[in-house]
Amino acid sequence: KKFCPSKPLEPYEKMFDAARELGLQRAMTFIVGMGETKEDLPLLKVFIKKYDLQKIHIYSLIPQEGTMFEHAPVPTKEEQAWWIAQLRIACPTLDIQCGIWEDRVERTAFLLQAGANSVSKFKALKLFGTETAQEIERQAALAERTFHGTLTVLPDIDWDAEVDKLSFGTELKERMKKKMHEYLKGMKKNCLCVVKYSISAEKL
């Protein structure tokens, strides 16, 4: 009612009920730093269990210019981790994702150790192969977690052939290939830049 009056809670609760009846998975987002207190934890736990949510994304606030949070402090990694840890204890099977922004990757290991299953909000395509992406994988290793997939090494596969396997029309497939190669071009460029930088650093 205070922060987003255009999005009342009731329709979302109806959506969760309907999704449960249809057997669909249900998830929500929780943003740390918008005025919540630790005393609100019981309310969050009740909401999660009431609608049998399978996943929750726990982000930390990004102050936005022109909003009431423009000058709000960025939550610390400890504040974000507290909510993750409490929900992991209360809901052992809950899939908890921690929001990792480009400028906060150094907190990844800490949040994973607090109880998060995975990371989200990372620009995986735009930042693929960059030092930032490498740091994400390093942080997962520091937390002694197995990183499924990669953000740094492009698999050696026939990308066009993979698209051809899909059950879409020829025209749509060609458009998909065009867009796919635009993404791949940027991803390969990032990887080459990191390699060149590493070689230059070694020479220094």
- C-alpha 37, offset from chain centre: 23
What pLDDT is recorded for position 194?
A: 61
Residue type, 185: K
| In contact, 152 and 129? CB cutoff 8 Å | yes
Which residues are CB-neighbours of 43 under 8 A, at least 6 positions away? none
What pLDDT is recorded for position 195?
A: 52
What pLDDT is recorded for position 201?
A: 45
What pLDDT is recorded for position 141?
A: 95
Per-residue pLDDT of the chain in tens (204 residues, 90 and over written 9): 888 889 999 999 999 999 999 999 999 999 999 999 999 999 999 999 999 999 999 999 999 999 899 999 999 999 999 999 999 999 999 999 999 888 899 999 999 999 999 998 889 899 999 999 999 999 999 999 998 889 999 989 999 999 999 999 999 999 999 999 999 999 999 988 765 545 444 554
Q: How far apart are CA 187 and CA 180, in angstroms?
A: 11
Q: Report CA dihedral (4, 52, 123, 183) to the nearest 10 degrees.
A: -110
pTM of the model: 0.85
**SS3 of residue 151 by DSSP:** coil
What pLDDT is recorded for position 101?
A: 84
